[in-house]
């Protein structure tokens, strides 16, 4: 990579990290995700700052085309993140449905107590 | 008789049971999942009330946009209103939870669109009495008023039949029937783990077989749908078949907390 490309990558990576830190400070990003993405950013900075790091890593892994090493790492990481998200999403889905079911059952019981004549401020009343 | 394992914690203790109201000495709850069935529901409730005067009825309104819940309240039955649409599986599970918490000894799943015949509920309950845990009402029982489903659905149901036989080791004719009865321990099982996606009927049948419950099929008479349209779209079936197969692979080892201790 040319020096210009390295500076460009470095700038993009640094601004991404700043963006993440801003999200974190505004409590828009939970700490555990922030930690993940910040460490990804850290690796990118290291790669951009040291031109030969990727080549040396590729040689060590036996990969002759250095960018392939980068893509392999990136795709593996993104794949794992997406699998983790699917898992989390289905868990949230289950919990949401559980709550909806509980609400439906609680609604019956509220109506039931209203029928028995108990004062119920939240019950619907004819205008 | 083996009793279902009871993983303490999640379930609230049953309330003080109300006076016995069930037919055949059982306290039975009729669970009616309903989605936009304002038109058909009053007739269904009226028929159930005249055929099964002692059974309690719970309508589970699965996020209807019409007056389904109001129609049910007008008929004087309990209504569980889900805050948004969760699908048939979630609606049924709501009914099962309610049944378990209120100590019902059995429940019947009944359609809100009027295609199930209320006189046939007794047939299902008799099978429960005989010791079954899950009773499937077979809509194809007699040739004279056989339930016409059309060619594509008919073929699809044939595939399901083979699939279920392979996965459960038991022969069923009407695997996707939504006319069913559940024993108390079946209810406890399904109150926690009823399948939530489409083809819940097939999946729950397989789950019950896998977990060692007694599943039987009994012939019932059917009526053609009076309102609404079938919920099945043939092009979606393939996806759902694959999904059921995958979920059955996932169920290969039943979760320990739900396995029967025999």
- When CB atoms are compared, the residue of B90, B98, B101 closest to A100 is B90
Q: What is the pLDDT of residue B12?
A: 41
pLDDT at residue B187 is higher than 90: yes
Taking an 8 Å cut-off on Cβ atoms, the answer to whether B82 and A111 are in contact is: no
Is the model's pLDDT at B107 over the cut of 90? yes
Interface contact A107-B90, CB threshold 8 A: no
pLDDT-derived band of residue A40, with 50, 70 and 90 as boundaries? confident
pLDDT over threshold 90, residue B44: yes
| Chain B (89-118) residues lying within 8 Å, Cβ to Cβ, of chain A | 90, 93-94, 97-98, 101
Is the Cβ pair B98, A108 closer than 8 Å? yes
- Mean pLDDT value across residues B60-87: 93
Burial-class residue A9 by CB neighbours within 10 Å (0-12, 13-18, 19+). Answer: middle
Number of helices followed by number of strands (H, E) in chain B? 8, 9
| Residue scoring higher pLDDT (B255 or B163) | B163
Both tokens assigned to B87:
């699908």
Tell me, what's the pLDDT at B8? 40
CB-count exposure of residue A52 (10 Å: 0-12, 13-18, 19+): exposed
Residue position matching structure tokens 């948004």: B84
Per-residue confidence band for A96, with pLDDT thresholds at 50, 70 and 90: very high
Distance in angstroms (rounded) separating the CA atoms of residues B72 and B36 = 12
In this complex, do A101 and B78 lie within 8 Å of one another by their Cβ atoms?
Answer: no
Residues 6 or more apart from B87 whose CB is under 8 A from it? B62, B196, B197, B198, B200
Residue B92: closest C-alpha in chain A: A101
Tell me the two tokens of residue B176. Answer: 């996707």
The pLDDT of residue B233: 59
* Cβ atoms of B69 and B61 closer than 8 Å: yes
- Asked if residue B24 has pLDDT above 80, the reply is no
At A125 the pLDDT is 44
Question: Which position has the higher pLDDT, B50 or B160?
Answer: B50
Q: Which of B73, B94, B101 sits opposite A104 (nearest CB)?
A: B94
Report the pLDDT value the prediction gives residue A121, as an integer from 0 to 100: 41
Residues of A in contact with B93 (CB under 8 A): 101
Q: Which of B221, B199, B189 is nearest to B97 (CA)?
A: B189
Angle between helical axes of B234-250 and B200-210 (0-180°, round to 10): 20
Distance (Å, whole) CA A45 – CA A17: 9
Determine the average pLDDT of the residues in A11-19. Answer: 88
Q: How confident is the model at residue B90 (pLDDT cuts 50, 70, 90)?
A: very high
Is B78–A103 a contact, with Cβ atoms under 8 angstroms apart? no
Q: In what order do the strands lie in the sheet with B215-219?
A: B78-81, B56-61, B28-34, B106-109, B180-183, B134-138, B215-219
Segment (H or E) for B256: none
- Give yes or no for residue A84 having a pLDDT over 70: yes
The set of residues, in sequence order, having a beta carbon less than 8 Å from that of B234 and lying 6+ positions away, is B152, B153, B156
What confidence score (pLDDT) does residue B227 get? 44
Residue B34 has a CB neighbour count (10 Å cut-off) of: 24
Q: CA distances (Å), B66 to each of B1, B37, B38, B72, B139, in order?
A: 45, 8, 6, 12, 29
Proportion of chain B above pLDDT 90, given as a percent? 48
Q: ipTM of the assembly?
A: 0.75
CA distance B224 to chain A (A): 30
Q: Residue A31 and residue A15: Cα distance in Å, rounded?
A: 19
How confident is the model over B124-130, as a mean pLDDT? Answer: 93
Q: What is the pLDDT at residue A111?
A: 63
The overall average pLDDT reported for chain B is 80
Q: In angstroms, rounded to a whole number, what is the distance separating the alpha carbons of residues B72 and A27?
A: 45
pLDDT tens per residue, range B135-171: 999 887 654 455 566 666 677 778 778 888 888 888 8
Six-digit token pair at B184? Answer: 């108390």
**The predicted structure's pLDDT at residue B156:** 73
What integer is the mean pLDDT of B221-225? 70
User: What's the pLDDT at B230?
Assistant: 54
CB contact under 8 Å between B94 and A108, yes or no, is no
The pair phi, psi for residue B146, each rounded to 5°, is -65, 145
Average pLDDT over residues A76-93: 93
- Backbone region of residue B89 per phi and psi (left: phi > 0; alpha: psi in -120 to 50; beta: other values): alpha
What pLDDT is stored for residue B252 in this prediction? 55
> DSSP letter at B118?
G
What is d(CA B120, CA B30) in angstroms, rounded to the nearest whole number?
13
Of A67 and A79, which is predicted with more confidence?
A79
Distance from the B148 Cα atom to the nearest Cα atom in chain A, whole angstroms: 34
């Amino acid at each position: 990579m040319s020096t210009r490309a390295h500076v460009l990558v470095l700038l993009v990576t640094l601004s991404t990290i700043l963006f993440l830190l801003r999200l974190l400070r505004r409590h828009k990003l939970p700490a555990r995700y922030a930690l993940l993405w910040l460490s990804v950013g850290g690796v990118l900075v290291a790669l951009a700052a040291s031109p030969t790091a990727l080549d040396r890593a590729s040689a060590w892994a036996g990969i002759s085309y250095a960018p392939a090493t980068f893509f392999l790492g990136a795709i593996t990481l993104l794949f794992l993140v997406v699998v983790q998200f699917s898992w989390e999403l289905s868990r949230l889905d289950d919990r949401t449905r559980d709550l909806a079911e509980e609400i439906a059952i609680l609604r019956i019981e509220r109506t039931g107590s209203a029928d028995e004549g108990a004062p119920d401020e939240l019950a619907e009343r004819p205008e | 008789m083996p009793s279902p394992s009871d993983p303490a914690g999640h379930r609230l203790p049953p309330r003080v049971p109300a006076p016995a109201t069930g037919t055949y000495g059982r306290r039975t709850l009729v669970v009616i999942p309903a989605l936009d069935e304002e038109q058909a529901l009053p007739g269904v409730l009226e028929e159930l009330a005249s055929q099964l005067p002692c059974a309690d009825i719970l309508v589970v309104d699965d996020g209807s946009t019409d007056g389904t819940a109001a129609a049910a309240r007008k008929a004087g039955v309990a209504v569980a209103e889900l805050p948004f649409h969760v699908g048939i599986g979630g609606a049924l599970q709501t009914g099962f939870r309610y049944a378990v918490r209120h100590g019902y000894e059995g429940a019947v799943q009944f359609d809100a669109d009027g295609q199930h015949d209320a006189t046939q509920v007794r047939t299902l309950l008799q099978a429960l009495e005989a010791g079954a845990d899950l009773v499937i009402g077979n809509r194809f029982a007699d040739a004279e008023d056989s339930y016409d489903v059309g060619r594509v659905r008919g073929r699809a149901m044939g595939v399901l039949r083979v699939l279920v036989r392979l996965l459960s080791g038991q022969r069923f004719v009407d695997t996707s029937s939504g006319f069913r009865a559940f024993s108390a321990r079946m209810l406890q099982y399904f109150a926690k783990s009823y399948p939530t996606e489409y083809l819940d009927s097939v999946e729950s049948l397989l789950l019950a077989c896998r977990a060692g419950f007694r599943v039987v099929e009994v012939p019932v008479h059917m009526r053609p749908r009076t309102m609404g349209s079938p919920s099945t779209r043939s092009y979606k079936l393939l996806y759902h078949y694959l999904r059921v197969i995958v979920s059955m692979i996932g169920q290969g080892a039943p979760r320990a907390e739900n396995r029967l201790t025999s």
